[in-house]
Chain A
Amino acid sequence: MPADGRAILIVEDNCVMADIMRFNFKRAGFDVTVAVNGRDGLERIRDRQFDLIIADYQMPRMNGEEFCRQVRQDERHAATPTFLCTAKGFELDTVQLSQELGITRILIKPFSPRELVEAARDVLAGPPDARERCSVRPDRSPSPAG
């Protein structure tokens, strides 16, 4: 399914991971913007509207949790679907985080880039309700759906 140039913001301090995510999303037809940390991400959303935000949890200066909290305070992005990626799956209360910050999906590293792209497509293709509050799946299996 083509992505029709839907705008995605990737907030990831690990440039190696950010590059491969950008590569896969671009090949899938998305318009990709990369920010290197939470503060940089906030700068980006101030300038433009994104259809999907994918943020890493552990980042210097401003981590993913604080970033998502601030994103929700921005009227334009209060309901933007948001994925949170983390290598700390077992240590975080993913259910509470999802409910509190309206996270659409939490992805546990390592994850499959193809399945991440598929998940992004699903979320953006779904009905508006689903886009606002998709089911939370703190996935720990080796091949999570996104």
Chain B
Amino acid sequence: MFRSTRPISVTRRLIEQYFMFGLACLFFCVAVCVVLAWRGSLTSLVPAAVVLPLAILLVGGLVLRRSLGLVATIEEQLGRIAAVSSPVEHDLRPIAASDPLADGWNALLERFAGQASLGDLEARLSRALGGFHEQRFEQVFNTLSDGVAVTDAAGVIRFGNRSLAAVLRLPGGESVEGRDLYELLEREGSPDGCGERLRRQSGPAPMSIPCGPNLEDGVLRVSRAPLAGDGAEAGTLVWTVRDVTQQKLADEMRSQFVFTATHELRTPLANIRAYAETLSLEEGIDVEKQKEFCNIINAEATRLGRFVDELLNISQMEAGALTLARHETDVERLLSEVIEHVQPQMRQKGMDFEPLLPPKLPKLQIDKDKVAAALVNLLGNAVKYTPDGGRVRLQVEASLEHVSFHVEDSGYGIAPDELPHVFDQFFRSGDARVRQTTGSGLGLAFTREVARLHGGRVGVHSELNKGSKFTMTLPVR
């Protein structure tokens, strides 16, 4: 706005005004001299009256011009600053003169240069921080177990975190960036064109995509949201792809558990009813037989009670409220009870059972019933998942600090990918041989919880079709 009219420098204005004032004075002097000369006096002084003030005026002009040079330099530099929006350092020069004005100008320049370098530092920091944030976000995304993808409007992946390729089960090292996510979801073995359906739909569209005909083949949960904010192109979507196979299997196991529990409750109940009714309705049953029936009713009621206890343990475990009632326990007696419990099943399957116990076992401060139930689970599983005529070994090792119970079998074994999940609640192997037998998927979870509450631990080594070895270690207190 100020630059719309031609600027006149302050220095020039001062000099012009000086000359105009000087010329006015000169004109006045000349006029006085002419009047005096006309009256007859000062005739000889007229040339001097003109030349001398003119000379003084010129000298004064030169002095003024010289003394205003400093102001002119400052003005010129200020003009240059005003001409550009962001002055650079070399536009401004310090003035080499010893003058308060020059000193002030130079001090101002120094401060300005300081600010300019700060601005530069800020810009560099901002660039570095931008890159740093980008890297940090990428690192954060790469640590997520869910697959995260950013796709453009056509569904092409612009960014995919490390888990994405794994969740989509792409061969090792295959990059996802630049590929069509809808096609990748289609490739997952979804039976009904899930990828194409997602392409046609709009909105978050959370969808479960089965990876094959069986639950064990995998299930993916896919959801998406538009990416908003500066620099986001229209149609950009952020996706999360989660492998929910284990969750789905656990849900199925939970339902299976209800069926199993129902069966386990009804079986002893059916026996009790059949025997009790026979005793009450049939006449002429001899005393020995009556006694035998009563014993059976008693045994079945005990079995029912034990199962109810197990259910309570499981429900306490589920609620995180499993507690211990520790008493000094003779480990040898505990083991003999455990063995007594599982031996009938072993005999029925014609199994070779080998208990290897050290000559002396310490007394432990433990919850006897819960540890016994945990060991029965380990031995029961060994019997259940080993073919007829197989081998089961119970080995106990005692040191000053720990007692370890090793249960080893020559059974079906566990596949490496299932091994990390065997102690999870409701987990049951996908192995068809295991699926044939009933099970709650809670026994090993219970065993691990019992070990943990005692300050101990459980572990497993297994080889498919060769057998498994479970170890429960409890501290000696």
Contact = CB atoms under 8 A, between A and B. Distances in A.
B436 interface: yes
B278 A113 contact: yes
Interface string A44-61: 000000000000001010
B19 interface: no
A130 to B, nearest CB: 26
Contact of B271 (A17, A58, A60): A17
A20 interface: yes
A69 interface: no
B274 A87 contact: no
A113 B277 contact: yes
Contacts, number: 59
A111 interface: yes
Interface string A15-58: 01100110110010000000000000000000000000000001
B266 A109 contact: yes
B116 interface: no
Chain A interface size, as a band, is: 20 to 34
B281 A114 contact: yes
B437 interface: yes
Contacts of B271: 14, 16-17, 20, 110
Nearest to A36: B348
B270 A109 contact: yes
A4 interface: no
A102 B282 CA distance: 32
Chain B interface size, as a band, is: 20 to 34
Contacts of A90: 262
Nearest to B272: A110
Contacts of B269: 109-110
A8 to B, nearest CB: 16
A15 to B, nearest CB: 10
B273 interface: yes
A37 B436 CA distance: 14
A140 B271 CA distance: 17
Contacts of A14: 267, 271
Interface in B256-276: 259, 262-263, 266-267, 269-275
B436 A110 contact: no
Given A16-B300, A20-B275, A110 B270 contact: yes
A27 B282 contact: yes
A17 B262 contact: no
A90 B278 CA distance: 26
Contacts of A20: 271, 274-275, 278, 293, 296
A109 B267 CA distance: 7
A91 interface: yes
Nearest to B437: A60
Contacts of A88: 259, 262-263
Contact of A16 (B278, B282, B296): B296
A112 interface: yes
A87 B296 CA distance: 19
B263 A110 contact: no
A90 B262 CA distance: 10
Interface string B425-450: 00000000000111000000000000
B270 A112 contact: no
Which of A88, A110, A114 has the largest number of chain B CB atoms within 10 A? A110
B234 to A, nearest CB: 52
Contacts of B281: 114
Given A17-B270, A109-B270, A114 B277 contact: yes
B385 to A, nearest CB: 13
A123 B22 CA distance: 146
Nearest to B275: A20
Contacts of B266: 87, 109-110
Contact of B259 (A17, A27, A91, A111): A91
A16 B300 CA distance: 9
Nearest to A57: B263
B274 A58 contact: no
A114 B275 CA distance: 11
Which of B274, B281, B296 has the largest number of chain A CB atoms within 10 A? B274
A146 B437 CA distance: 28
Interface in A68-86: none
Contacts of B262: 87-88, 90-91
24 contacts: A14-B271, A17-B270, A17-B271, A20-B275, A20-B296, A21-B274, A23-B289, A27-B282, A58-B263, A87-B262, A87-B263, A87-B266, A88-B259, A88-B263, A91-B262, A109-B267, A110-B270, A110-B272, A110-B273, A111-B274, A113-B274, A114-B277, A114-B278, A114-B281
- Give the 4 A-B CB pairs with smallest separation, nearest first: A110-B270, A87-B266, A109-B270, A110-B273
Interface of A: 14, 16-17, 20-21, 23-24, 27, 58, 60, 87-88, 90-91, 109-114
Given A60-B437, A87-B263, 18 more contacts: A14-B267, A14-B271, A16-B296, A17-B270, A20-B275, A20-B278, A20-B293, A27-B282, A58-B263, A60-B436, A87-B270, A91-B259, A109-B266, A110-B266, A110-B270, A112-B273, A113-B277, A113-B278
